[in-house]
A and B are shown apart, each in its own frame.
Chain A
Amino acid sequence: MNHMTKAIWVVAALGLSACSNATGWDDGSAGGAGANGGPGGVGLGAGASDPRSVAYFQQTVGDRVLFAVDRTDLGSDAQSILAAQAVWLKANPEYAITIEGHADEQGTGAYNLALGAERANSARDYLISNGVGSGRIKVVSFGKERPLEICSAESCYAKNRRAVTVIAGGFTS
């Protein structure tokens, strides 16, 4: 922090008086510990051939569901993937999960955060209705902050409107 840049302002008038204020602006930056908001998760387990592995969950079960433009409801594809996720999660009860909701870039920031939250929650509700304990599930929205695909076309947007089930922790593989 640099205190030398603090300036005391005095405004004197040659004729009439003028008012002023005194504000100093320091240099410096605050530390900011903590994880970045990128996709997290653990890399435990053997290869994707082991049905108990996280890699199997991600690649074979499918860790993400997609949404239509401005929609938060689950299509039939999304429902089958989530049903399979629920089966896997019930078979692997040691894992907690975080569902990350995302939006494409076509929207304003705060709205997309809210939209991502709704999407993540749609997935959460479906898992719970399929027997996954609610205490294992956290949801977080990244709005449009973390696109998977970066082109500005529907081909990319369709993949970015997603809810990703991230295996957040486990004790065994």
Chain B
Amino acid sequence: MRQFFASVMMGLMSLSVADVAQAQNTPLRLEITDGVIEPLPVAVPNFIPDSPEATELAVEIARLVAADLTGTGLFREIPSSAFISQISSFDTPVKYADWKAINAQALITGGVSVSGDRLTVRFRGHDVFAEGELGEGLQFNGTTAGWRRMAHKVADAIYSRITGETGYFDSRVVYVSESGDKANRRKRLAVMDYDGANVQYLTNSASIVLAPRFSPTGDRVLYTSYESGFPQIHVLDIGKVQRRILSADDGIMSFAPRFAPDGRTVVYSQSQGGNTDLYRMDIASGQRNRLTSAPSIETAPSYSPDGSQIVFESDRSGSQQLYVMGANGGDARRISFGKGRYGTPVWSPRGDLVAFTKQSNGRFHIGVMRTDGSEERLLTSSFLDEGPTWSPNGRVIMFTRHTQGANGRATLYSVDITGRNLKPVRTPDGASDPAWSPLQ
């Protein structure tokens, strides 16, 4: 246990807000690397509506931008009650002294116009202490129904300008929505915004569905369904809500599918004669190659972002451990060597880390390690955490947390790869098996 806390603490140390007390005229920059953990103070006054119809959205959009930013744990919002200046017009020059006085490092101003169902959002980021704008102002045009996406795009732009990293707010999560008794759980696929808004159901709950995974472009989802009575892999086009079965061999179980970065190839597990191995399938032709042929369990494969390697789990050593092999199969090298069992490896979108589930001393952890197995860090600990998925920028991990007992329930959680900012993701029902989309 002591080792676990030590590694979490190391994780905490590796995040920082650099130069919070920066010198005047130094460009505002929040380095997510190492050091202090002081959220950057940001002021997000309500955006300015250009007509009475825009009043409500002008408030909602500003609130959502602020929620996205503070939700990262990297920003702290200054309450409007502390404001000295009010922003009354989008184009009036900002009185920086008034925002310096309340120690706002960043200020976000915006304007909103509504015409019928058309919505236009303009915004500017301000570096208060440098007394200048953070990049150019931007304008987004869309529909009023899509206001949340526009707010997320504003927040992504601000996040990106301040941290130098791409954002992840305009993204979605596909997951398994759960209801009913633990012994007969009803499961159906659902997709939602990354923050839990706009839930839509993609299947009904007549058959068990498991482990959905987005395609690299976010338009299709692979998942496992018991529709035939046996677990088999299906692919679903989200926009059209059209589904088809990929592996239709009668009585052969296939599961744990994941797209290759090319979006045309799927790697997955197939069980035959009780033995589970890894296979690869070309979606268009249906042509299959067997990648492993060991008497042990080989499952949970995940491609490296360049498509050249696959990380997977195997119990060939006698217990569940992580291995890396070339995308064409062949020799695999073990990368997990700590005490306990390791499963569900997922290669990070940056290619630098592998996230995993670890079982040790009756507890479950979500952790990350470098792709050679070094620098293992555990980020969480609970009765049962499993199944990490990466935010599109590789900074945040979402996973499933199960509570124990007869009334046990599954909930989605997210945590920074530093181990900070652990929090539940709100969903209408129980939820498991999340998979994060690419940035839209």
Q: Which residue of A lies closest to B139 (CB)?
A: A12
Q: Are A114 and B140 in contact (CB under 8 A)?
A: no
Given the known inter-chain contacts A25-B239, A111-B297, please indicate yes or no for A15 contacting B136, CB distance below 8 A.
yes
Given the known inter-chain contacts A29-B201, A152-B383, please indicate yes or no for A14 contacting B138, CB distance below 8 A.
yes
Q: Are A140 and B230 in contact (CB under 8 A)?
A: yes
A117-139 interface (Cβ within 8 A of B): 117-122, 124-125, 138-139
Q: Are A114 and B299 in contact (CB under 8 A)?
A: yes
Bound CA–CA A150/B405 (angstroms): 7
Q: Are A34 and B239 in contact (CB under 8 A)?
A: no
Q: Which residue of B lies closest to A28 (CB)?
A: B241
* B267 nearest CB across to chain A (Å): 12
Contacts of A151 in B (CB 8 A): 405-406
Given the known inter-chain contacts A113-B255, A152-B405, please indicate yes or no for A120 contacting B141, CB distance below 8 A.
no
| Residue interface mask B192-217, A partner, CB < 8 A = 1 | 00000010111111111011000000
Q: Are B203 and A148 in contact (CB under 8 A)?
A: no
* B239 nearest CB across to chain A (Å): 6
Q: Are B200 and A105 in contact (CB under 8 A)?
A: no
Contacts of B146 in A (CB 8 A): 5, 7, 9
Whether a CB of chain A sits under 8 angstroms from the CB of B127 is no
Q: Are A26 and B273 in contact (CB under 8 A)?
A: no
Bound CA–CA A117/B315 (angstroms): 14
Bound CA–CA A95/B137 (angstroms): 73
Q: Say which size band chain B's interface belongs to.
A: 35 or more
Q: Are A30 and B203 in contact (CB under 8 A)?
A: yes
Tell me which of B206, B271, B320 contacts A34 (CB under 8 A). Answer: B206
Number of A-B contacts (CB under 8 A): 212
Q: Are B231 and A113 in contact (CB under 8 A)?
A: yes
Whether a CB of chain B sits under 8 angstroms from the CB of A47 is no
Q: Which of B19-27, B36-44, B182-190, B415-423 contacts A (4 or more CB under 8 A)?
A: B182-190
Whether a CB of chain A sits under 8 angstroms from the CB of B68 is no
Q: Are A114 and B269 in contact (CB under 8 A)?
A: yes
Whether a CB of chain A sits under 8 angstroms from the CB of B226 is yes
Residues of A within 8 A of B (CB): 1, 4-5, 7-16, 18, 20-21, 23-38, 40, 72, 98, 105-111, 113-115, 117-122, 124-125, 138-142, 145-152
List 3 A-B pairs, minimum CB-CB distance, nearest first. Answer: A121-B274, A15-B136, A34-B227
Residues of B within 8 A of A (CB): 122, 136-143, 145-146, 149, 153, 157, 172, 181-186, 188, 191, 198, 200-208, 210-211, 218-219, 225-231, 236, 238-243, 251, 253, 255-256, 269, 271, 273-276, 297, 299-300, 313, 315, 320, 343-344, 357, 359, 383-384, 386-387, 402, 404-406, 408, 433, 440
Listed by A's residue number, 27 A-B pairs whose Cβ atoms lie within 8 Å are A9-B140, A9-B142, A9-B149, A14-B122, A14-B136, A15-B137, A20-B153, A21-B440, A23-B219, A26-B239, A29-B201, A29-B204, A30-B243, A36-B186, A36-B208, A108-B320, A108-B343, A109-B344, A113-B231, A113-B253, A113-B271, A114-B276, A115-B297, A117-B274, A125-B274, A140-B253, A141-B231
**Known contacts A30-B243, A105-B402; can you find 9 more A-B pairs with CB under 8 A?**
A10-B142, A23-B218, A25-B200, A30-B242, A33-B227, A36-B207, A36-B226, A114-B271, A140-B231
